[in-house]
Amino acid sequence: MKLRFVLTLFAVAFFVCKGAHGQTSLSMPPDVSGEDLKAQVERMERMLEEQQKQISELKHVLEEKTKEKEVKEAVKDEKIEEVVEKYLEKEETKEKFAELGLSPNLKMGYKKGFYLETLDEKFKLRFQGGLQFRYEFLDRNEGEEDTSSFLIRRARMILEGNAFSPNIKYKLQAGFDKGTDFNLLDYYFNMTHIPPLNVQFGQFKAPFNRQRITSSGNLQLVDRSTANEVFNLDRQIGMMLHSMLFDKRFEYGFGVFNGSSVTGVDASSGRNLKENDNNRHLFVLRAAYNPFGEFGYSESDVEFSEKLKATIAGAAGYSSDEITVSGSEEDVDTTRLVGELGLKYRGFSFLTEGYYRHRDAGDLSGIVSRGNIADNGFFTQAGYFIIPKRLEIAGRHSFVDFDDDVPLGGVDELREYTGGINYFFEGHRSKLQANIVRVEEDLLTGEDEKDNKFQLQYQIYF
């Protein structure tokens, strides 16, 4: 536009000049000589050349000005962009956006599951899925039919993260075991505002023995021990105080739970019960000392620990239940104790747990001849990585001695012998396990039952 305007001005000036000399140039008097006319033409040509030169110079100046303006605008844009980026990176800016609900974006990615997280880290959601697919051949006791089965031993969907604050953590886990109905396993919140006194409430595993607390995905052998199946306290609805202190060298948990809440049902089963139908509760206290730092809840030493890890732990549980016998109700007070020892070092791992359960059954005539019922048991297992972090061999012995006076399933003693080999593709998240298991039951009738089992299981968690 500026160039056109300048050219127009020059054109107007040119024609004005022409008009001023119009009588000379357009209507020459007849007496004008040829020499004068030639001089006029030369003068006009010089004027045109001078004007053309001025126009070229003006065009050049205009082009330079335009380039200079474009460069300044580009530099200005770059500086603005840099300033904006620095502003968005400030913590104060993130907080302001978060308060207004206008967070510019979310952090997302994969780390032990797919996750979404706000920039202020106040909200986080991680999703995980898991599957244990198993083949199992059971060589039953003589006279019983053998079985050969494919099983979906466990299927899991896990949501976890934090809400409103990094100190308000949550976990929801649902799935099914051995083809049972899809049901809720864990659903709890964990408040960590005061680290020595973390508060957890909802449904979760009672803080009793280590092997039950350990996730099924982190087991060294395909299944937990038979002793664990007899003495563990499983999942419960309630609340607990817990923490790890002194650089994770000491950990504790104290919980109060509904327990059975159903007359006649042992308090070890408290999963998904709607409410307590009495005023009795299950109390559990657990403490562990890890002299060399955190021991962790993985039975295998997948990390191939360069320094010795150890744990010494104990727990106690108490519950009062009601059992109906011949139309009358009797109280059964149950005390449970467990002691543990664990070691890990350069691919070697060792774990043992000893159990004791005492039930003050009162006068349950027709079931027991005396009120005090004592059961005890233990398991010991060990493993070693032949190829570090990849190939592991493991073995376990488990034993349960039931009180002779209690015909619980008619079993007096229960023994288990298990040998296994594991191959880890991606740690516990992707592994293949093979086990050979022998279970022996000594019956009160004097007869014995012996079952042999072969298990092959692939596990994947993503």
> For all residues of the chain together, what is the average pLDDT?
84
For residue 296, the model assigns a pLDDT of 94
- Specify the pLDDT at position 189: 98
pLDDT at 456: 98
**Residue 8 clears pLDDT 60, i.e. is over it:** no
Q: 3-12, 76-85, 301-310 — which is least confidently predicted?
A: 3-12
Question: Pick the residue with more confidence: 5 or 125?
Answer: 125
Confidence of residue 140 (pLDDT cuts 50, 70, 90): confident
Neighbours of 327 (CB within 10 A): 5
Q: What is the mean pLDDT of residues 234-260?
A: 94
pLDDT band of 325, cuts 50, 70, 90: low
Reference 238, options 184, 183, 186, 200; nearest CA is: 200
The pLDDT tens digits for 370-400 are 567 889 999 999 999 999 999 999 999 999 9
The residues, any chain, with a CB within 8 Å of residue 110's CB and separated by 6 or more, are none
Q: Per-residue pLDDT for 23 more than 60?
A: no
Is the confidence at residue 280, as pLDDT, over 80?
yes
pLDDT band at 277 (very low <50, low <70, confident <90, very high): confident
Share of the chain above pLDDT 90, in %: 55
Mean pLDDT, range 311-323, rounded to an integer: 90
pLDDT digits (tens, 9 = 90+) for 426-449: 999 999 999 999 999 888 777 788
86-100, 210-224, 248-262, 348-362, range with greatest mean pLDDT:
210-224
Which range in 73-87, 218-232, 321-335 is most confidently predicted, on average pLDDT?
218-232
- pLDDT above 50: residue 19: no
Higher-scoring residue by pLDDT: 29, 84: 84
pLDDT of residue 457: 98
Mean per-residue pLDDT, 133-140:
94
**What is the per-residue pLDDT for 87?**
67
Q: Provide the pLDDT for residue 142.
A: 76
What pLDDT score was predicted for residue 20?
44
Q: Is 455 a residue whose pLDDT tops 90?
A: yes
Are 34 and 90 a contacting pair, CB within 8 Å?
no
Task: Using a pLDDT cut of 70, give the percent of the chain over it.
Answer: 78
18: Cβ–Cβ under 8 A, 6 or more apart, which residues? Answer: 25, 26
Is the pLDDT at 201 greater than 60? The verdict is yes
- Mean pLDDT to the nearest integer, 395-410: 80
**CA dist 134 → 156, 218, 452 (Å):** 15, 16, 16
Residue-level pLDDT at 24: 40
Higher pLDDT, 95 or 341: 341
The pLDDT assigned to 215 comes to 95
pLDDT at position 303: 94
CA torsion sign for 262, 265, 271, 272 is negative
pLDDT tens profile 328-361: 667 788 999 999 999 999 999 999 999 999 988 7
Residue 41 has pLDDT above 90, yes or no: no
pLDDT score of 209 more than 50: yes
Q: What is the pLDDT of residue 400?
A: 96
